[in-house]
Structure 1
Amino acid sequence: MSQAHQKIHIIAIGGAVMSSLAVALKNKGMTVSGSDDKIYDPAASLLNTNELLPSEMGWNADNIDNSLDAIIVGMHAKSDNPELLKAQELGIRIWSYPEFIRAQADDKQRIVITGSHGKTTITGCIIHVLNYWGKDFDYVIGAKIEGIKETIKLSNAPVIIIEGDEYFTSPLDPEPKFLKYDHHIALISGTSWDHINVYPTEESYLTQFEKLADRTPKAGTLIYCSEDKHANKIASKERDDVKPVPYKTPKYKVNDAQFVINGDTPVKLFGKHNMQNMEGARLILDRIGITDEQFYEAISSFEGAYKRNNLLAQNAKTSVYTDFAHAPSKLAATASALKELYPKRKLVACYELHTFSSLNKDFLGNYKGAFNAPEEAIVYFDNGLIEEKKYASISEEDIKKSFNRKDIKVFTDSSELETYLLDMNWQEKNLIFMSSGTFGGLDLASMAASIIQ
């Protein structure tokens, strides 16, 4: 596909990835327009700064005409979207975002990072190290990281690093995004069942990773975490001329609330799972010319991805963090990491049930044992969201039984949760908020500032 003088319209331009793609295409010289029914920050500000924010919210078939060279459709759109239907009627080329990325990467070495957890951090590690050493590469990542302006870069670079999502490709294509990239090298970090709304059984979820492994080409490489039993089984299966490369958590130590790897390399990330993530990144980088010496020099300054283990505020006795954790494996890893970082402090952990899976009563049993690390465990959820999704109601007893923790505290009113936390004595205690949502709109930064005072 020619990269010059293209006129592209993006349906559902307001998503984190889609808005970044819009900017990347404009920077390549393409004429870009877009639409969405709702756009929030930071996407709204990004689009506005780049003069790509739609003048009106909503879908309008009049946005689509034969002057367009192509349509790119995001997952937020539905199959009956009026703009999508008009594009089909006119016979305009319709791309999903992963298919479009693949079309821009014909002549590149394609490296895809996948897994139910850790893929953003692993991809971020790789991007940081390559930037540190001034390498020429393209990338697609699902979150902001320090040192890069956008989450997508498309150029004439010889290699592209892609965070590969297992969610559906588009409203028209139920195949996982990560199967669209035709990888040369793939990494599977973990396979904890997620996205129950599209993968109703664990087997249907794991099958997608099996497909990914099977599509590794001859002379390709499949890197996988051997400490994940399903990833180990899938990736270690013999495949013709495919090199399986296992990795596991490297040796590390914790000195004065800082994790240290490779004997004497201090790092800003913390937790066993992040040490494991860095090891996966190291193996990827080894295959594209980064030596171990170069890796350890660069990785010590990596601050992590946006919304992953972010420190909001701290004093000598208390630290307050946020994390994007939104699945059982992520919840367990993040809470355990903070306990490992500050073993002498009590941990208060607040988790919001927010995703389709976590709000589904049938899925809740997967949280058994996932919230054992904190001394005080708190679960918040919005009953209105459950009603909106038309799910069965969830009771406090359901939560306690599912998490297998009778002392868990349950809140459905965000203001009550805020009052409870602000009234607590925070001496020698840490607090972490974990969610892909907003805890009912709470100003977490303001709360953190009040707590440490």
Structure 2
Amino acid sequence: MKSKAIHFISIGGSAMHNLALALHQQGYLVTGSDDEIYEPSRTRLEQSGLLPAQIGWFPENIHADLDAVIVGMHARRDNPELKKALELKLPIFSYPEYIYQQSQHKQRIVIAGSHGKTTITSIILHVLKHHNRVFDYLVGAQLEGFETMARLTPDAPVIVIEGDEYASSPIDASPKFLHYKPHIALISGIAWDHVNIYPTWEEYVDQFEFLAEAMPKAGILVFDESDDMLDVIGQKERPDIVKVPYEAHPSEIVDGRTYLLTNKGEKVPVFVFGDHNMKNIAGAMAICDRLGITDELFYEAIGTFKGAARRLEKVVEKEGRILFRDFAHAPSKVEASTKAVRQQFPDRKLVAAVELHTYSSLNKAFLNQYKGCLDDADVAVIYFDSHTLAIKQLPSISVDDVKSAFERPDLHVFTDSTQLLEFLIAQTTTAEVFLLMSSGTFGNLNFELVGEHLLHPVSN
């Protein structure tokens, strides 16, 4: 039987390249294009023979023999390959649409929310894998023990999907998670984000309301009842929908290690920490319960979960000095991660640095949402790059704009990554815990160099 031919417009994206790899592993004929491909996408595509021979868009890549074209958000509406696909009337999908098309016969579980969805999805996958369950998945971070961030097979009865609220494609502004039509949905919390698409808080919240309203009969809606807005959405009466609220799992911290407290009086040591992660664990546990994983089986597996890549990821530790790297960028995520590290290490000096890198965080009108989010840090640092503003075609912001928004007089603001590195290295004489938060790279900051200086602090 002839293998299906799939072309990816914008193959270099995090989700896009993982879906491309997943389909390639299933024997599909996969091609793709992009105008920029960064690591780790570049190496992973190259190792599978899927890296485009040339960078750029080439209409000749689009032909009548293609079975489908999958278009990513990085492409624009006037993309020449997309225009050619439209002219040829080929089947065109966003990646959430395509995943739904390929999983209509599966039980679909979608993890949504402004924060925590990657970690919750990761915990569920870890627990299922630990107990040798058969499942497909899509998750937004690399996990230990998983070769790719996506798996799509014909036989798995269940698919667990990290579903975000961002637009689906350049020609489809609807949120990704609505396309999945979940049988079970979890919403972890709501905090305004993506202001370039949802310019008001109300418009943003509406997307999660739409998700809850779209649940099918006999559907299950799991939600964090400690989130005031989400509790309103979750508790609303919906015929034939099962409501499953959750709150943070009971825990305690002993000598810098977090332990889950079970209802049988047992203590289960875990690698993840912080109030937000105790909520993530409780949410994942509620989903696993619906998949036939008992509490005992869950606790057996969670003790070996070391977290998703760049989610409070420990880069280096030696003699009490620790460097964490975290994907946090939105205000609620920054506040949660900073508070988590402070609670875990209450007596150590904490340096917390945030890169303003997203459309929302670099939007002057949105900056004041960050007020107070770094209050738990002893030393608070902000970095942003004017080049990123130019790429995203956003109005410039100044150092004073940032200081005013955060309302922290001792805030250190940098626009040069070399100066940022020098400042961080200088802090190693007194600070013991470093937390670097960004969905970017801090201007290609050398994390290994920072880590090396943590192990061998500079002298006064």
TM-score, normalized by the shorter chain, greater than 0.5: yes
Q: State the distance in 1 between where 2:428 and 2:48 align.
A: 46
Shift of 1:428: 5.5
Q: Shift of residue 384 of structure 1?
A: 2.5
1:48/1:390 Cα in 2 relative to 1: closer, same or farther (>3 Å)?
closer
In the other structure, the counterpart of 1:284 is 287
2:272 pairs, out of 269, 272, 290, with 269
Farther off after superposition, 328-337 or 387-396? 387-396
Specify the SS of the correspondent of 1:331.
helix
Residue in structure 2 matched with residue 48 of structure 1 by the alignment: 46
Listed as ranges, the matches of 1:115-194 within 5 Å are: 115-155=113-153, 156-194=155-193
The equivalent residue for 1:110 is: 108
1:439 aligned counterpart, secondary structure? coil
Deviations 1:46-100 (A, max 9, x none): 1111111110110010111111111111111111111111111111111110010
1:4, 1:30 within 8 Å by CA — same for their partners in 2? no
Q: Distance in 2 between matches of 1:52 and 1:428?
A: 44
Contact 1:332 1:371 (8 Å CA) reproduced: yes
Question: 1: distance between equivalents of 2:98 and 2:428?
Answer: 52
1:355 to 354, 358, 366: 358
Paired residue secondary structure (2:229): helix
Alpha carbons 1:75, 1:168 under 8 Å: kept: yes
Contact kept, 8 Å, 2:403 with 2:409, in 1: the verdict is yes
**2:240 aligned residue:** 241
2:395 to 392, 395, 416: 392
- Write the distance in 1 (CA, Å) between the matches of 2:390 and 2:76: 21
Residue 23 of structure 1 deviates from its aligned partner by 1.1
Equivalent residue of 2:418, what SS? helix
| Number of the residue aligned with 2:326 | 323
**Corresponding residue number in structure 2 for 1:95:** 93
Displacement of 1:4 in angstroms is: 6.5
User: After alignment, is 243-252 or 205-214 more displaced?
Assistant: 243-252
Question: Aligned to 2:421, what secondary structure does the other structure show?
Answer: helix
In structure 1, what is the Cα distance between the partners aligned to 2:104 and 2:428?
A: 58
Alignment partner, residue 231 of structure 2: 232
Choose 295-304 or 395-404, whichever is displaced more: 395-404
Contact 1:4/1:29 (<8 A) preserved: no
**1:19 corresponding residue in structure 2:** 17
> Equivalent residue for 1:31?
29
Distance 2:62 2:349 in 1: 57
Give the SS at the match of 1:88: helix
Q: CA deviation at 1:425?
A: 4.0
- Secondary structure, counterpart of 1:378 in structure 2: strand
Whole-angstrom distance in 1 between the partners of 2:285 and 2:388: 40
Contact 1:351 1:378 in 2 (8 A): yes
- Give the count of matched residue pairs: 451
C-alpha spacing 1:427/1:405, structure 2 compared with 1 (3 Å): closer
Tell me which residue corresponds to 1:411. 414
The one-letter amino acid paired with 2:54 is E
Alpha-carbon distance in structure 2 between the residues aligned to 1:393 and 1:5: 49
Q: What secondary structure does 2:325 align onto?
A: strand
Q: Distance in 2 between matches of 1:73 and 1:385?
A: 24
AA paired with 2:50? Answer: L
Contact residue 111 and residue 161 of structure 1 kept, 8 A: yes
Is 1:335 matched with 2:334?
Answer: no
Question: Separation in 2 of the partners of 1:27 and 1:398?
Answer: 48
Q: Given residue 169 of structure 2, which amino acid in structure 1 is its aligned partner?
A: S
Match among 424, 428, 434 for residue 421 of structure 1 = 424
Q: C-alpha distance in 2, partners of 1:190/1:407? A: 30
The residue identity in structure 2 corresponding to 1:366 is Q
The 2-side partners of 1:105 and 1:44 are apart by 27
Q: Is the Cα–Cα contact under 8 Å of residues 10 and 33 in structure 2 kept in the other structure?
A: yes
SS of alignment partner, residue 402 of structure 1: helix
Aligned residue number for residue 9 of structure 1: 7
Deviation at 1:27, TM superposition (A): 1.4
Corresponding residue for residue 295 of structure 1: 298
CA distance in 1, matches of 2:451, 2:7: 41
Which residue identity lines up with residue 206 of structure 1 in the other structure? V
**Range that drifts further, 435-444 or 187-196:** 435-444
Cα offsets for 1:192-237 (capped at 9, x unmatched): 0000000000100000000000011111100000111111111110
Q: Secondary structure at the match of 1:238?
A: coil
- Asked whether the 8 Å contact 1:317–1:428 carries over to 2, the reply is no
Task: Measure the CA separation in 2 of the matches of 1:5 and 1:393.
Answer: 49
Offset at residue 393 of structure 1 (A): 2.8
C-alpha distance in 2 between matches for 1:373 and 1:310:
19
- Structure 1 gaps of 5+ residues are none
Listed one character per residue, the Cα deviations across residues 379-401 of structure 1 (whole Å, up to 9, x for unaligned) are 11112322443433323332222
Gapped regions of structure 2 (runs ≥ 5): none
Q: Is the 8 A contact 1:116 1:191 kept in 2?
A: yes
Are the aligned partners of 1:137 and 1:159 in contact in 2 as well (CA < 8 Å)? Answer: yes
Aligned partners of 1:129, 1:446: CA distance in 2, in Å? 35
Are the aligned partners of 1:124 and 1:305 in contact in 2 as well (CA < 8 Å)?
yes
Contact 2:351 2:431 in 1 (8 A): no
Q: Which residue of 2 aligns with 1:446?
A: 449
- The alignment's C-alpha RMSD in Å is 1.2
Alpha-carbon contact 2:13-2:37 (below 8 Å) kept = yes
- State the shift of 1:181 in Å: 0.5
**Residues 111-140 of structure 1 deviation map (CA, whole Å, 9 limit, x = unaligned):** 000000000000000000000000011100
- Of the structure 1 ranges 313-322 and 425-434, higher mean CA displacement relative to structure 2 is found in 425-434
